[in-house]
Structure 1
Amino acid sequence: MKRKTIYKFLCLCLTLLMAASAFMPVKALKSTDTANVTISEIDANYGATVTAYKLINVNLDSNGNPMDPAYKWDNAVADWLSAHEYGDYVSADDNVTDTFEKLEDDSTEIKTLVDDLASAIREGTLTVAPQTSVDVEKGTTEANYTLEMGAYLFLVSDGVKIYAPGFARVYPEYDDEHNQWVLSADTLNISLKSNEPAITKTVNGEGVSVAVGETVTYTVTIDVPQYGETVSDTKKAFVVSDEMASGLTFNDDVRITAKLNDADTDISQYFTLSQEEGKLFVYTAKYDELKAVIGDVTQITLTYTATVNNTAYAAESLLNEAFLTYDVKPYVTAVDLKTKNDTVQSYTYGLEITKQVDTVGDLVNGTQFTLSNAEGTELKFNQKDDYYYLDVNGNATLTVDAAGKIKIHGLDLGTYTLKEIKAPEGYTVPSEVTTIVLTDTAENLGELDAVNVSGPNVKEDGTVIDATYKNQLDLIIMNYKNDFNLPTTGGMGTMIFTVAGILLMGGAVILMVFVLRKKKEQ
Structure 2
Amino acid sequence: MNKSIFKLFGMSALVLSAILGGLSIADRPLVLEAHALSREQEKGVHLLGDGPASILIKGNAEQSLLNKSFRVYQLFHAENSQNQDSINYSWNLDTKAAIQKLVGQALNKAADQVHEYEAIDYIQSLNNEGHYADFRYFMETLRTELNATSKSVRNVTIESVDENNQARLEGLPFGYYLLDETSSSGTHSANSLCMVSTANPTSEIHIKSDYPELIKKIFEDDQNVGWNDIGDHEIGQSIPYKFESRIPDLNGYTTYTVQFQDRMDEALDFDPSSIEVKIGDYTLQKGEWVLEQNVDGDSFRITIPDLKAIVDREFASGLDGENGHNEYGQKLQLFYRASLNAKAIDRGLEGIENHVRLVYTNDPDSNNAQGWGSTPWDSVVSYTYHIQGKKVNEKDRPLEGASFLLFEDAACTRQVYVEKDGERFIVSQEANDQSIQSGANGDFLIGGLDQGTYYLKEIKAPEGYRQLLDPIEIEIKPTFVADRNKYTAQGEGLLDLSAGAKIKTFYSGLLNEEAQDLLVDVSQTKIGLSIVNKAGILLPYTGSYLTLGMIVFGCGLSLLAYKTIKKHEKE
TM-score range, shorter chain: 0.7 to 0.9
Shift in Å, 1:485: 1.0
Shift in Å, 1:405: 0.9
TM value normalised by structure 1 = 0.75
Name the residue aligned to 1:31.
Answer: 24
Q: Confirm or deny: 8 A CA contact 1:365 1:403 kept in the other structure.
A: yes
Distance 1:329 1:142, change over 3 A: farther
Distance 1:406 1:138, change over 3 A: same
Name the residue aligned to 2:310.
Answer: 290
Shift in Å, 1:466: 3.3
Letter in 1 for 2:458: E
Aligned length: 461
Q: Confirm or deny: 8 A CA contact 1:248 1:317 kept in the other structure.
A: no
SS of residue matched to 1:193: coil
The one of 459, 466, 479 equivalent to 2:533 is 479
The one-character-per-residue Cα deviations of 1:171-230 (angstroms, maximum 9, x if unpaired) are: 9xxxxxxxxxxx63343212233122422122223372211232111122123343440x
Name the residue aligned to 1:379.
Answer: 416
Structure 2 distance, partners of 1:454, 1:62, is: 90
Name the residue aligned to 2:548.
Answer: 491
Distance 1:461 1:192, change over 3 A: closer
Name the residue aligned to 1:143.
Answer: 168
Q: Confirm or deny: 8 A CA contact 1:34 1:146 kept in the other structure.
A: yes
The one-character-per-residue Cα deviations of 1:283-305 (angstroms, maximum 9, x if unpaired) are: 22213313313452432111111
Name the residue aligned to 2:288.
Answer: 270
Q: In angstroms, what is the RMSD of aligned CA positions?
A: 4.0
Structure 1 distance, partners of 2:558, 2:518, is: 49
SS of residue matched to 1:112: helix
Letter in 2 for 1:366: G
Identify the structure with bigger relative contact order (alpha carbons < 8 Å, sequence gap 6+): 2
Name the residue aligned to 1:191.
Answer: 206
| 1:240 correspondence with 2:278 | no
User: What percent identity do the matched residue pairs reach?
Assistant: 19
Letter in 1 for 2:403: Q
Letter in 2 for 1:492: G
Structure 2 distance, partners of 1:428, 1:403, is: 19
Shift in Å, 1:82: 4.7
SS of residue matched to 1:364: coil
Larger Rg: 1
| 1:209 correspondence with 2:232 | yes
Name the residue aligned to 2:443.
Answer: 405
Distance 1:506 1:395, change over 3 A: farther
The one of 367, 373, 379 equivalent to 1:337 is 373
Shift in Å, 1:100: 2.7
Q: Confirm or deny: 8 A CA contact 2:234 2:340 kept in the other structure.
A: yes
TM alignment of 1:291-370, pairs within 5 A: 291-292=311-312, 293-294=314-315, 295-313=327-345, 314-315=347-348, 318-327=352-361, 334-360=370-396, 362-370=397-405
Q: Confirm or deny: 8 A CA contact 1:354 1:404 kept in the other structure.
A: yes
Structure 2 distance, partners of 1:56, 1:118, is: 14
Shift in Å, 1:422: 2.6
The one of 431, 436, 459 equivalent to 1:421 is 459
Name the residue aligned to 2:44.
Answer: none
The one-character-per-residue Cα deviations of 1:108-128 (angstroms, maximum 9, x if unpaired) are: 122112111222222x2x224
Name the residue aligned to 2:299.
Answer: 280
Q: Confirm or deny: 8 A CA contact 1:154 1:165 kept in the other structure.
A: no
Name the residue aligned to 2:8.
Answer: none
Distance 1:118 1:467, change over 3 A: closer
Q: Confirm or deny: 8 A CA contact 2:455 2:473 kept in the other structure.
A: yes
TM value normalised by structure 2 = 0.69
Shift in Å, 1:254: 0.5
Shift in Å, 1:255: 0.6
Letter in 2 for 1:144: L
Q: Confirm or deny: 8 A CA contact 1:453 1:463 kept in the other structure.
A: yes
The one-character-per-residue Cα deviations of 1:16-65 (angstroms, maximum 9, x if unpaired) are: xxxxxxxxxxxx97436965432332753633343432212458999999
Name the residue aligned to 1:219.
Answer: 242
Name the residue aligned to 1:46.
Answer: 66
| 1:254 correspondence with 2:311 | no
Shift in Å, 1:501: 7.2
5+ residue gaps in structure 1? 1-27, 172-182, 514-522
Name the residue aligned to 1:518.
Answer: none
SS of residue matched to 2:377: strand
Distance 1:488 1:241, change over 3 A: same
SS of residue matched to 2:117: coil
Distance 1:492 1:296, change over 3 A: same
Structure 1 distance, partners of 2:495, 2:527, is: 10
Query: Which range moved further: 77-86 or 304-313?
Result: 77-86
Distance 1:411 1:500, change over 3 A: farther
Q: Confirm or deny: 8 A CA contact 1:154 1:167 kept in the other structure.
A: no
Q: Confirm or deny: 8 A CA contact 1:73 1:96 kept in the other structure.
A: no
SS of residue matched to 1:96: helix
Letter in 2 for 1:283: I
The one-character-per-residue Cα deviations of 1:332-354 (angstroms, maximum 9, x if unpaired) are: 77335222333221222111111
Distance 1:88 1:345, change over 3 A: closer
